[in-house]
Structure 1
């Protein structure tokens, strides 16, 4: 507005000035909208978010009227009234800069205007989501918080926001964190996800349960659980992406049964069918393929698969860090010490707090 004010002041007619000001403000407000981005590459929905429950987000748009979006479809929400540091935090978290992302989220909460409860809930959820990712990657949590304390904090937050859009996505993250920390209550979270009205969350709930059983050495039971996940119908992009995660779980079970060769065709089919608009899933697929090749001693093919993660999907920080770890081993095995040293440096520089960095430096 500072560039427009001199123009308004230069006009002599008060009525014209007032009318002109209204027109300018109206034009500025057109671009001031909430933005919902759905998974699968659809165009963002622009409008004003009116209501959020654990099953639907209602946004009023100028073009399509009232649009309802379910939480399982959400890739990102960008609020018109959000603090600038909230957007910065999301970007930093996506790139794996966890401590800087934490600072940005904290600053966003401090900068948030009063009277915006939905945005406050969203920022608080992102803070917990970030800390869960930090804990699962082996990074030190802010303020010396323990993983047990984080699980309690996350559970309390979700109990207080059971009718918010963050509830079921948060339950997914909490379940994964609890599972990694060896907490039996993780199963309760996964079972609750299996009861949601969305096929993709049902698939992911069974898939998470299957991984828990596999980690406990219950291989046959895990395989049956992954088959349950794959038996759920897939009717959209989100379902197909969830199904890909179930197939990755089944492949891991076959590896545990010493059937690595049988798992490879499943991964190759995933590579052919998974959309480019799902970089996280693609990264996990190529990472899995690389590890399968590595187990079979097909080191050159393993390098090619893992380089896909390094070059094409570096924004998928957990998968990228693990791919770099395995590449350091493979380059050394292939007689490429210079490349191994370069990859070691990249892992240390880009992911100093990753458990894969700690694992590498332990040896």
Structure 2
């Protein structure tokens, strides 16, 4: 009896001083981008390109570009909560959930990799928007890709490294980080990478090289919905380059056609389209039209943080030319307070 009581007290004491974590589901679960019922089983192999799931003794292979979400057997509930918050771009909530896992021992390598990935991703997202330690976020992402080159999050981590470099104005580094995505065996990934590299080249004013990247996307043979979106984004990027090289009217024609033919529910596409429209108008000296274009992004499509930051930067300048210093100050203040981590907040 004394021995039993001693054991009970020991366990109670241990539970009081050791980090505790609630465990979740009993299976690894793959949710596919096409929808339908998720697949439950046990991961038998994983690379950066595919995940093999043992489903009742039968191996099923899922290409990474077909996976919308992957949850893990016995993962901490806090990890699941953080993952859900990331899906909704609630970076602060995700960070709070991940902090609960500090000091918690994790035995399964896939779970540890997921925690490391989301910690690095969230740190990068916060650094690019609200502000934070970009160097620390970059190191965390680099540590992840070096230690987990065969993890299905590899391409997402590489993309975040590229985006982080862009937010710091390190465009050459950004192109390097996007490189592995451009070499992925998935057409949509290649198109997205070319668009990202094209935008980085545009920021460096290397317009002919940027157009080459955008044309590679536009001329691609894929016809999936995602490919169609990437082609449209490439056309927007090309329009900006055309305007910058003396062909603003051609750029305006492209962007206006895109706005007329696409669904404004695609916030990213429309934010970039109206910003491109504004940039084209700036090149033709039509400042009032440019102001109206950037206002569309500010008022209607602000959910795309990168584009919203760009629009606020231009609005702070255009309101000043319109002799409305209060509105110029308001735009600059919003930019610095909401997007202090953006490269646009660092420009004069």
TM-score by length of 2: 0.72
**1:299 alignment partner in structure 2:** 287
Question: Residue 36 in 1 paired to residue 28 in 2?
Answer: no
**1:284 alignment partner in structure 2:** 272
Question: Residue 250 in 1 paired to residue 238 in 2?
Answer: yes
For the 8 Å contact 1:47–1:60, the answer to whether it is kept is no
Q: Give 2:65's match in structure 1, choosing from 65, 72, 77.
A: 72
- Paired residues for 1:253-272 under 5 Å: 253-272=241-260
Displacement after TM superposition at 1:316 (Å): 1.9
Question: Residue 155 in 1 paired to residue 142 in 2?
Answer: yes
Q: CA RMSD in A?
A: 4.0
Q: Give 1:118's match in structure 2, choosing from 95, 100, 110.
A: 110
Displacement after TM superposition at 1:233 (Å): 1.3
Q: Distance in 2 between matches of 1:78 and 1:214?
A: 38
Q: Distance in 2 between matches of 1:263 and 1:128?
A: 38
For the 8 Å contact 1:93–1:101, the answer to whether it is kept is no
Displacement after TM superposition at 1:236 (Å): 0.6
For the 8 Å contact 1:201–1:242, the answer to whether it is kept is no
Q: Specify the SS of the correspondent of 1:48.
A: strand
Displacement after TM superposition at 1:134 (Å): 4.6
Displacement after TM superposition at 1:61 (Å): 9.3
**1:127 alignment partner in structure 2:** 119
For the 8 Å contact 2:236–2:255, the answer to whether it is kept is yes
For the 8 Å contact 2:129–2:340, the answer to whether it is kept is no
- 1:218–1:351 distance in 2 versus 1, CA, 3 Å: closer
Q: Specify the SS of the correspondent of 2:40.
A: strand
Equivalent residues, number? 320
Q: Deviations over 1:225-271 (max 9, x none)?
A: 32223222122112122223322332232133122221122222332
Q: Distance in 2 between matches of 1:193 and 1:353?
A: 24
Displacement after TM superposition at 1:196 (Å): 1.8
Q: Give 2:50's match in structure 1, choosing from 44, 53, 56.
A: 56
**2:304 alignment partner in structure 1:** 316
For the 8 Å contact 1:105–1:127, the answer to whether it is kept is no
- 1:110–1:273 distance in 2 versus 1, CA, 3 Å: farther
Q: Specify the SS of the correspondent of 1:110.
A: coil
**2:98 alignment partner in structure 1:** 106
Displacement after TM superposition at 1:166 (Å): 0.7
Unaligned stretches of 5+ in structure 2? Answer: 1-24
Q: Distance in 2 between matches of 1:48 and 1:181?
A: 43
Q: Specify the SS of the correspondent of 2:302.
A: coil
**2:160 alignment partner in structure 1:** 173
Displacement after TM superposition at 1:133 (Å): 3.8
Q: Specify the SS of the correspondent of 2:101.
A: helix
Q: Distance in 2 between matches of 1:224 and 1:129?
A: 30
- 1:33–1:202 distance in 2 versus 1, CA, 3 Å: closer
- 1:312–1:329 distance in 2 versus 1, CA, 3 Å: same
**2:181 alignment partner in structure 1:** 193
TM-score by length of 1: 0.69
